[in-house]
Each structure stands twice: as C-alpha cells, then as structure tokens.
Structure 1
Amino acid sequence: MEGSRAGESGNDGNHTSHDPFHVKDPHRLAINFAYMLEEIGKVAGAWARARERGDTGTPIAGPLNDLLATLAKIVEYWRADQNRATEAQTRLISACLDIWTNSIRQMNGEFDENEPPQLETSRADRRFSDPDWERHPFFRFLKQIYLAAVRWAEQMVDEADNVDGELREKARFYVRQVMDAVSPSNFLLTNPVVVRETLQSNGENLIRGMRMFAEDLAAGNGALRLRQTDYSKFRLGENIATTPGKVVARSELAEIIQYEPATDTVYRRPLLVIPPWINKYYVLDLSPERSFVRWAVDQGHTVFMLSWVNPDERHAHLGWEDYASQGIGFALDTVQERTGETEINVVGYCIGGTLLAACLAAMAQEGDRRVATATFMASQVDFTHAGDLKHFVTEEQIALLEAAMQAKGYLDGTTMATVFNVLRARDLLWPYVVNNYLLGKDPPPFDLLYWNSDSTRMTPANHIYYLRTFYLENALAQGRATLRGRTLSLADVKIPVYTVSAADDHISPARSVFVGAKLFGGPVTHVMGGSGHIAGIINPPAANKYGFRTAPLDAATFEEWRESATFTQGSWWLHWNDWLVAQDGDRVPARHLDPDGSYLADAPGTYVLVRG
C-alpha cells in the first residue's frame, strides 16, 4: 500500500491529450486523494495532541478582535445611510457583471475595443505570474473578480468619512491581510499551477504537502512552524556566521564576540555592534558575501558583536534595565578592557538601536563619554509612525501576552515568528503555504530565510515593558522614559549620529526613522536605503543593489526630505564607512587574537546555537 504513494504516477493509458488540465489517471488520482485524507488525519492528530498537552503557544486573539472591531466601524459608516449602502453594493455588483460579460465574450472569441482594461497587479506581485492566469478563461475570470473585490474593499475604507487617520490606516492593513488570505492563488482548485501539478502527478503533491503540514505542526508544538527554506543546508560556523572570532566575555544576557582582523592596521576606535534580541545577531554575518561583519573587518575595523542569550524561564525577571547593563554596558566594558580605548563607535540595529539610544541618553547625564559615534540601522526612537506592527499592540493583546508569558516564563519564538510572517503575509506566508502544502515542494535554501526561521524567545519583563513604553506610550520620544533612575531626553545625545532607514521597511518605517532622527541633540547624518527592513540594511556593495538617498535633516517633513534627497546607486555601507572614518581615521597595528589565549568559545559562540 505504501509503495503506491508518491513516486508512482502510473501511466496515461490511452489518453493522448496535451491539455495540462486533463486528468491523466482518474483511478490513481482517487487513490492518492484517499492517501491525502489520511495525511490530513495526521495533521488533525498533531493539532489535537498539542492541545491535550496544553502546549498551544501564546494566544494572539487580540489582533482578531481588533480586526473585527475596526472593520465593523467601516461597515457602520456604509450601513448608516441606505442610499450609500446601495450605491456601494451596486458598484461591486456592476464590476462583477462587467467582468462576467467580458469573460463570456472572450470565450466566444469576441473582443470589444471599448471594453474597460483588465485589472492588473504590480510587477512585484508574483501571485498571478503564471501564464494560465491570463490565457485560461476560468482562471482569468477568477483573477479579475478577485482584483475587483480588492479594489472595492480598499475604496470602502478610503471613502469612509467617520474614521480618523489612525483607524483608517489600521483598516487598510486589516483589509489587505484579509484580501491576501482569500486570494484564489492560495487554494487548490483556484490556482492553475496547483491544479496542473495535482493532475499531472495524480495528487502526489497533496500527499507530500499534507505530510509536511503535519511535520510543521509537530515542530511548532501545535502551532504552525512554517518552513521557508531548507534548514539542512546551513550550519552555524560552517557556511553561515563564519567570520573568524572568539567569545571574549559572557554575562547572563550576552556573549561578546571579538573578530580577527583582516588588515595589518586597524582604525583606533573599535566598532561595537548591538543587534536586536528578536531573532539572532548573525543577520549581520550571513554567508561571507553578504556579511556586514566580514565587510567591516575587511575595511579595517576591530569589530565586536553582542550576541544575546535565547532566554527561557530562568531569565523571566530580566527586563529593560538588565538588557542595558548586562548587555550594552557589559559590552562597552569588554571592548574598553580588550582594546584599552576610551572612544568606541557603536552600531545599533532595529530594537538594539532603540536600547542604544536610551543608554546614550542616560550616559550623557552620567558623564560617560565612551561612545564616540552612534549608528542606528532601521531603529525607531519615535513610535508615532511605527508601522504595521503597531496594529498588533493593543492593551487587550498586551494583557493576553503578559498573562501567558508570566505563566510560561517567556514568549515562545513561534509566536513572534508568526506575527512577523503575518505582517508580510503576501511574501512570507502564503507563497510558502502554496509551495509547501499544495505543491508539495521543499523550499530552496536561502541564508536570510534560514536566519528568519531561527526565532528567539523573549522575557516577560523586557518584552511587556518595551511594548507599553514605546509602542503604546511613545515615552522615549516624549521625554518620559527612564533608565537607571534618570528621565531620558534624546536631546542630551550630542555625539555624531548616523541614521539609516529603508524605503519599504514595514517594521521601522522610513518616516518613523526620519522623525526620530530629529530628536538627537548633535549632528545627524540621515540616509534612506532601498528595499525593506532586512534587505535594505544587509546590502553589500558588491551586489550594487537598491541605492540610497541622502540630504540634510533640516526638511520639515519626511516627504520634503525625500523629494530633496540625492540618489546614489549601490550600497549605503560605503557612504557610512566614509562618514565613520571622517570622524576619526587614526590607525593602529591590528589587534590580533592570541591563538594561545584563553577564550570562552569560537565564534559564533554558544548563545546563538540555542533554538527558540
């Protein structure tokens, strides 16, 4: 019975049709559908067993409730006036009837030069790239109906007069999520690629897909751990995170890695990098040709990396103050001790930059001048325009998270991974659902997606403080945040600052980074790179991709700054390095790691190896 599953397609018998939607072997297709149902039973079993154990992850019901409440306010506007509601319904029905009429004409070989043009997606939208979405009448009809519904739903939000700007932006986000979820490209019978594969393989793709689905549910303990790449192709320290170095210090929260120099002389000021503790530091040390760390070492910098612990219940009590002292404070002490230098260049990425900004404001009051320059990569300090993630941060959701985290001692990594995937569901969720579970194909190896899947846990004390203080209260920007008993003001940070945003960043939006850059009290160089939160930052010069924009920070609005900015092709890394060297380009003999020295571990260290 097992031998007749995937891998035995049978033959076509007497069928000679070249129609890709022709059923080759109805008998084999029926049998494989039965096997698929058996695999679905295993999926249900994996889901049920996790709930019997009570191991169902952290609840994220808040966003669902907020979605319903938000869209209800849009519906309320249209239902309040019967004429308005009728007009809206007529608009959608009319568009669908036009599409139906045009489809019938095209099926009969009739073409009207005056008929309205077909709705199209952007070039970046790959969902409908297969030729059968256009050449096959049924799938072309589905696509047009779907795109008409999307346009109509977006118009309903944009034309609702009873909502403020913030609610409208949230409604746009939720509508986009819902419409992306119901796209015909996501379903077995409405995606021509899946239908062709199912018929040509006699359903073996669905058996493989459901088997992968069950495996991914089991791997996530009842929550779907969607595989986005082939994990077996990567080994930390072997083909990813390979820049040579040693762990030279370790605290309860962080390991400090010092990298071996690649030049005979190095810049006097060492370079300390503070990554986010959501995911792991090696996004900055991916495969050698994409590694920011390796590139910085090659430019002559003595690079130190902070690698955060992947916390568990033992770390539940560690909060914002601990991350500042045992993280950044500990790292600065280590760099000073290792190099003897009292002036250090520091880079903060994403939330690591937010923590760095708070530390710098406290250090300015304390008279601690060790940080000579600060670079903020896609880091927010003003959360007024905090992007789509803000829609998930409500009092209701924070209360749910806090209760679950206190009971467990940490936020499991699957929860945050799911949230980030949902934020960009069209790119990070639905394509893999189709590829993995409907087409039954393993995703190809990709270092960035391997890192993206290597999720981390978070401590209750730190995560809840961060969500409330920054996303809900925006306390740092408003001068109300505290650290080490001091009320913080970013205007006290008067050292040279370099801020870089990414044009399409959905986590730290370019507008948000621009507004925050204006809060620092010293000279600020502001740059906007291309692409998104990761690709816009991890943009090695050799790739010559995206480009970046530069302009003085004196523009009143982000739009004015963007219009006045000068565009340069290529990576912003070169521009940043020139800026950094201009602050102090003095060089000293390379600081080599003693091969016989006593170190805690080889890079990439031990904390980074703990899976979430």
Structure 2
Amino acid sequence: MTTADGDLPAATQHLTENLARVEALSQRLVAALAQKRAPNPALEAPGQELFLKAGSALMKEWLEHPGKLMETQISYWGQALKHYAEAQAVLAKGKLAVPEDTGPKDRRFSNPLWDTNPYFNFVKQQYLISAKAIEASVAAIEGLEQVDRKRIDYFTRQIIDLMAPTNFLATNPDALERALATEGESLVRGMENLVADIEAHKGDLVITLADRDAFKVGVNIGTAKGGVVFRNHLFELIQFSPSTETVHQTPLVIFPPWINKFYILDLKPENSLIRWIVDQGFTLFVVAWKNPDASYAKIGMDDYVRDGYLTAIREIKAITGEEKLNAVGYCIAGTTLGLTLALMQKRGDKSINAATFFTTLTDFADQGEFTAFLQDDFVDGIEEQVAREGVLASYFMTRTFSYLRANDLIYQPAIRSYMMGEAPPAFDLLFWNGDGTNLPGKMAVEYLRGLCQRDEFAGKGFTVLGEKVKLSGVKVPLCAIACETDHIAPWRASFAGVAQMGAKDKTFILSQSGHIAGIVNPPGKDKYGHFTSPAPFTDADAWRTAAEFHKGSWWPRWAAWLAGRSGKRTAARELGDSAHPVLAPAPGTYVLERPEA
C-alpha cells in the first residue's frame, strides 16, 4: 500500500528501515560468531555414559514394569486432551475466553494474556502439562545410583526450562506487544544487544546482566577508604582506614574467594560489610587476589596457602606489631583458610587467634547442586581445557553458576535484552556478578579433584606444602555463618564440616537467604533474620529444630563474638609502616584487572 504520491506510509517506512538494520546486524553477528573459541564438547554436555545409564534404566523399567510407564504416558495424554477439549468447549460458545485455571502461579507467566488469551493460555497450559509429565516419567525410572539420579534430574530440569514458551518470540506476549508498539524497533535493539554481547566475548554468548557503564570500581562502588600496603604476584593487601579513635588490639584479615572479587563486601556505603567492620573499631585488612592469565598455569593450592595466606598473615603481624590476628574466609577462601589453619596447627604456628567461615564447605560428601558438574566427564573436560589455555576462564565459571539459576540469570535477562530490546539495569550486585575472574589451571584441577571429588580434607587428608592435613586439625576458636537457602554451599554441608573441626570453641549461625544476600545483610533493614541453637554439633536437623530465631542481621552478634577475642582497645593505627608504604589507594590495582583467556 502506498500514499497518493507513491510514498510508503510512515509506519511501513519505519519497518522497512528496521529490516535493513537487521540485515546489517546479521552480518556483524556472523563475523562475531566466527571468533568463538574452539569448543570443548566435554564442557558443553554430560558424557555419553550418563545417557547410556539413563537409557538402560528406562529400557529395564519398560521391560519389567511396562504398565507403570504406560500409566504415566496415558495420564499425560489424558491431561493434554482434556485441556484441549476444555479450550474448544469455551471457544465453541463464541466467547474469546479460556478454561478456568486453578493451578499455582508461575512468575514467568505474569502477563495477563497468559490467562485471558485463548492462544497464549493454551500454549502455557500445554507446556506445564508436558513439563509435569516429563518430570514424572524421569522420577519413575528406578535402578539409578544417587549421583546419576541427581544429574538426570538436573539436566531434565534444564531442558524443561529451556523449552518454556516465554523463551521464544512467537509465544512470548510481552515481546510481541513490545515489537508491535515499537514497529519492530525493540527487536532491532534486542539484536544490537545480542551482537554486542557476542562481540564483547569474542564469539561466546555471555548475557550482560548490568549496565557496565553505570559503575566504576573505586569511584561509585568499592569506595571504602584505605590503601595497598603490600603486593606480590598473587595478591594485594589492603588496609582500610580507621573510622574510630581507638581500635581492638587484634587485627582482622578477610580472605575473599578468588573465584570473584572482594568488593561484594563493599558495594555501597549502606550495605558495606567492610565499612561496618571498621566502624566497630577493628583494624581491617582485606586480600585482593590477582586475576590470573595463562602465565599462572602452574599456580596451585600450595601457592595460595604459602604466597597468599601465610604471607598475608606474616605481613599483617609486621605492620601491626601483633603476634596474633583473627581471620575470615569466604566460600572457597574459607575452605583454604581451613587448610591453612590445619597446616599451622601441625607446624605449631599460633598466629591465628580465632577464625570465621562465611558460607564455607570443607566436607564435600554432599556436593549439592554442583553434583551435575563434579563428575569425571566434566572435570576431565576442565582438565583438558586448562591444559590448553593455562587457566579456567571466567566464562566457564560464570556459565556454570548461571545455569544453577537459569531462569533468573539466563532466560529472563535474555528475554529482556534480546526480545524486549531493553538496556541492562544499573544494578550493583549484577555488575559484580559479571566481573568474573579466571582460575589458575593447576589450582582449579587440584581443588576439583582433591577437595570436591575425593573429599580428602574430610577424609584421608589433603596434602598442603608437603603436610597431610585434616579437618580435625582446625583447632582455633571459630564462628561459622551459613545461609539457609544457599545453593552453592548448602548449610547442612557447611555444618557437617564445622562439626568435624577439632576446635573446642565453636559457634554456628544460620542466616536467612542465600550465598550473597545472607552475608551482605546489614543491620537496620531487618530484611533477613538468623538462627542460633544450643544443640551440639552432632546432627544438622536436630540443631535446626532446637534453634532460636533472631530478627535482623547476624553482623552485631558476630561482632560481639569477635570483640571478645580481639583484646583491649588501643589507639587507631595509621596505614602501613615505614617498611610497608601505601602503594596505591584502595581498592588497589588487581581488582581492576580483566585479563582475557
């Protein structure tokens, strides 16, 4: 259709222009995908052995109990047909309506059209019926070992989530409404976002979760005052400026995980654990780990203990003039703190007065949601990958963690960015989540094989710097904080590790929420509470049954515990000393590094 003078209508003209932009973007997309690293099949899917086990178990079930499988299949047919008949009956009345839906709400289907439009409602209901049938069929398979059962359940769930109608343009009413309202502009912007993400990661698809231009570390995020007072090839040691006239005599050091960056503890002033600790009158040091490149391929757990933990402890003692300090380990850094403490116990080194573990696993008998990835097929693939590249690239770590919460960290962000054409939000936590780090090849394999797979620290012993150390060797007074819904370090598994530690003085605090929000939970907001219990360290569920709930953050409770083990008050300390001048202002230089792999 044209106007009287032969020109296209404005709407059609706009659509034509957008289609031309799509053509140009398609060429950029092809060029970007051509840069993709050589794929490692072992890191893209579970090994064939798992498929063979599942297939064999299904065939055995079919031969021995054909009626049970037929019952599941017939039930699915019946539900799908019943819903189809109900939809037809409603439409036959001449009304644009849908059958009554009394099922549970799913936030993926929040658009009203899923409940009012016959087409979208039919698609939604058939998907939910199919998902339920698939889950029931898999659950009915018998004869699988527990690990294989967990893995098959996990990958089944991944397929079900992937096939949700919200993930496809033709069956996503939000995306279609936006495309119509913008005359295709939203789809063009979405494709621009997609191409930009693939170009930024050299052919790999990594969804940008937060506006990368909204934050700058050291400027509007990670801004606590302090300075780097020591640096080696593995870490920078940051001492934070005091905010009180007097401080506790015993200094405190935090070892954050080197899987990501320390400023999760200093996102904004109002939720900064670092600032809060300083405000309580503690002399605080934080280790900022080097973000390794391929030259770090041979760096292993021994290096992190010797050149990281033991060196940091030595330098803090020299700077403060104190013979003892208190230490905190977060996640994998807590695991390694445990190894270090057990080694120090063997050596008769009493430099650590008390230790705190944040969401730490030291007993890996229960691998939790990581069970799917901690078997030989994937770990063999990781070993092959790091042998080729020298490091385990942050891309693989980010992807693994994201798939543990695929709807929240993959599909919903992809829908907003690529289908709706929205710019990523200015969200500090998601910005940090996307600021990943590489792992040295040797260290990654040692951690996965010796600690995660063979559970040596809780078993026969894990060798550190030539000494075999065990959990029972952790004997300093300790406080462990675990999180109730933590999917990375399940609280019961954390409890099991603490229970085996040799310390006589042990405190366990269970925070509400998960791996990050349960830790970064400042006082005052009272968003999440915490539990303490008088029960002994024998059974996690018995401990939880006897636990008392406390409203609000666990931070003040921990600070009181720490203060009782931090000596008298003394004059606040200046940064560094004559042998440790300030090398750079906080947050230092290592935290800013983003090496490619």
Q: 1:74 to 1:443 in 2, by over 3 A?
A: farther
Q: Deviations over 1:555-581 (max 9, x none)?
A: 643332222211112111122112212
Other-structure match for 2:33: 47
Aligned to 2:543: 561
Equivalent residue, structure 2, for 1:83: 67
Aligned to 1:4: none
Taking the TM superposition and a 5 Å limit, the aligned residue runs for 1:428-507 are 428-507=409-488
The TM-score with structure 1 as length reference comes to: 0.90
- Identify the range of structure 1 (35-44 vs 601-610) with the bigger mean alpha-carbon deviation: 35-44
Distance 1:66 1:282, change over 3 A: farther
Label 1:209 to 1:117 Cα distance change in 2 as closer, same or farther (>3 A).
Answer: closer
Preserved contact between residue 185 and residue 191 of structure 1 (Cα < 8 Å) = yes
2:78 pairs with 1:97:
no
Q: CA deviation at 1:57?
A: 8.2
1:110, CA displacement in angstroms? 10
Work out whether 1:132 is the aligned partner of 2:120: no
In the alignment, structure 1 residue 588 sits paired with structure 2 residue 574:
no
Matching residue of 1:151 = 132
Task: Give the letter aligned to residue 593 of structure 2.
Answer: V
2:561 corresponds to 1:602: no
Q: Which amino acid aligns with 2:570?
A: V
User: Per-residue CA shift, 1:482-532, capped at 9, x if unaligned?
Assistant: 112211122122211111111111111112111111111112211111221
Q: Is the 8 A contact 1:57 1:415 kept in 2?
A: no
| Cα pair 2:72 2:136 within 8 Å, conserved | no
Q: CA separation in 1, counterparts of 2:317 and 2:537?
A: 38
Distance across 1 between alignment mates of 2:217 and 2:436: 14
User: Following the alignment from structure 1 to structure 2, what is the Cα–Cα distance between the partners of residues 524 and 566?
Assistant: 17
Point out where structure 1 has 5 or more consecutive residues left out of the alignment: 1-8, 12-24
**SS in structure 2 of the partner of residue 441 of structure 1:** coil
Equivalent residue for 1:521, pick from 502, 524, 546? 502
CA gap of 1:83–1:250, structure 2 versus 1, over 3 A, is same
Give secondary structure in 2 for the equivalent of 1:272.
strand
Aligned equivalents of 2:129, 2:330: Cα separation in 1: 40
Q: Which residue of 1 aligns with 2:3?
A: none
The Cα offsets for residues 72-97 of structure 1, whole Å up to 9 and x where unpaired, read as 35644553343233212111111112
Secondary structure at the counterpart of residue 63 of structure 1 = coil
Question: What is the Cα deviation at residue 595 of structure 1?
Answer: 11
Instruction: Determine which of 528, 533, 537 is the counterpart of 1:551.
Output: 533
Say which is worse superposed, 393-402 or 528-537, in terms of deviation. Answer: 393-402
1:290/1:66 Cα in 2 relative to 1: closer, same or farther (>3 Å)? farther
Measured after TM superposition, the shift of residue 329 of structure 1 is 0.7
Contact between 2:368 and 2:488, CA under 8 Å: does it hold in 1? yes
Compared CA separation, residues 59 and 229, structure 1 to 2 (3 A): farther
Residues 378-393 of structure 1 mapped to structure 2, 5 A cutoff = 378-393=359-374
Instruction: Tell me which amino acid in the other structure corresponds to 2:587.
Output: P
Q: C-alpha distance in 1, partners of 2:58/2:20? A: 42
Structure 2 residue 576 is the aligned partner of structure 1 residue 576: no
Alpha-carbon separation, structure 1, partners of 2:217 and 2:314: 27
Greater shift after overlay, 134-143 or 225-234? 134-143
Structure 2 residue matching 1:231: 3-state secondary structure: coil
Helix, strand or coil: the match of 1:499? strand
Aligned to 2:4: none
| Offset, 1:150 | 2.2
Match among 382, 389, 399 for residue 408 of structure 1: 389
- What amino acid maps onto 2:303 in structure 1? D
What secondary structure is seen at the aligned counterpart in 1 of 2:107? coil
Equivalent residues of 1:118, 1:144 under 8 A apart: no
Q: Distance in 2 between matches of 1:557 and 1:152?
A: 36
1:318 to 285, 289, 299: 299
Distance 1:221 1:55, change over 3 A: farther
Rounded Cα–Cα distance in structure 1 between residues aligned with 2:113 and 2:47: 34
Alignment of 1:191 onto 2:172: yes
CA-to-aligned-CA distance 1:188-233 (integer Å, 9 cap, x gap): 1111111111111121111111111111111111111210000101
What amino acid does structure 1 have at the position aligned with 2:388?
A: A
Does the CA-based 8 Å contact 1:39-1:211 persist in structure 2?
A: yes
Change (3 A) 1:105 1:446: same
Q: Which residue among 264, 270, 281 is the counterpart of 1:289?
A: 270
Question: Using the alignment, how far apart are the partners of 1:577 and 1:508 within structure 2?
Answer: 23
Q: CA deviation at 1:120?
A: 1.9
- TM-score, normalising length: structure 2: 0.92
Separation (CA, whole Å) in 1 of partners of 2:404 and 2:27: 30
How far is the alpha carbon of 1:104 from its aligned partner?
3.0
Give the RMSD, CA atoms, in angstroms: 2.4
Between 1:241-250 and 1:80-89, the stretch displaced more is 80-89
Could you tell me which amino acid in structure 2 is paired with residue 32 of structure 1? N
Relative distance call for 1:118 and 1:70 in structure 2 (3 A) is farther
Q: Give yes or no for contact 1:216–1:224 (8 Å, CA) kept in 2.
A: yes
Question: How far apart are the structure 1 equivalents of 2:478 and 2:320?
Answer: 23
CA distance 1:453–1:69, shift in 2 (3 Å): farther
Structure 2 residue runs without a partner (length 5+): 1-7
2:330 corresponds to which residue? 349
CA distance in 1, matches of 2:143, 2:452: 25
Q: Which whole-Å deviations, capped at 9, do the CAs of 1:35-70 have from their partners, x for residues lacking one?
A: 43542342222112x14xx56689613536576456
Structure 1 residues 66 and 417 mapped into 2: Cα distance closer, same or farther (>3 Å)?
farther
Which residue pairs with 1:32 in the alignment?
A: 18
Question: In the aligned structure 2, how far is the partner of 1:441 from the partner of 1:283?
Answer: 26
Distance in 2 (CA, whole Å) between partners of 1:55 and 1:227 is 22
SS state at 1:127 partner: helix
Return the alpha-carbon distance in structure 1 between the equivalents of residues 80 and 13 of structure 2.
Answer: 37
2:33 maps to a residue whose letter is W
Number of the residue aligned with 1:530: 512
Q: Secondary structure at the match of 1:429?
A: helix
Query: In the TM superposition, what whole-angstrom CA distance separates every residue of 1:264-288 from its partner, at most 9, and x where no partner exists?
Result: 1111111100011101111111111
Shift of 1:585: 4.9
Specify whether residues 484 and 162 from structure 1 end up closer, same or farther in structure 2 by C-alpha distance, changes over 3 A only.
same
Q: Find out whether 1:368 has 2:349 as its counterpart.
A: yes
User: Conserved in 1, the CA contact under 8 Å of 2:356 and 2:478?
Assistant: yes
Letter in 2 for 1:88: T
Q: Distance in 2 between matches of 1:239 and 1:386?
A: 37
2-side partners of 1:550 and 1:375: how far apart? 15
Q: Is this contact kept in 2: 1:411–1:457, CA < 8 A?
A: yes
Distance 1:558 1:97, change over 3 A: farther
Query: Is 1:398 matched up with 2:398?
Result: no
Is 1:63 aligned to residue 46 of structure 2?
Answer: yes
Whether the 8 Å CA contact 1:375–1:499 is kept in 2: the answer is yes
Q: Are the aligned partners of 2:147 and 2:371 in contact in 1 as well (CA < 8 Å)?
A: no
* Partner deviation per Cα, 1:532-591 (whole Å, 9 max, x = no partner): 111111111132112111113526433322222111121111221122123345211111
Query: How far apart are the structure 1 equivalents of 2:132 and 2:537?
Result: 34
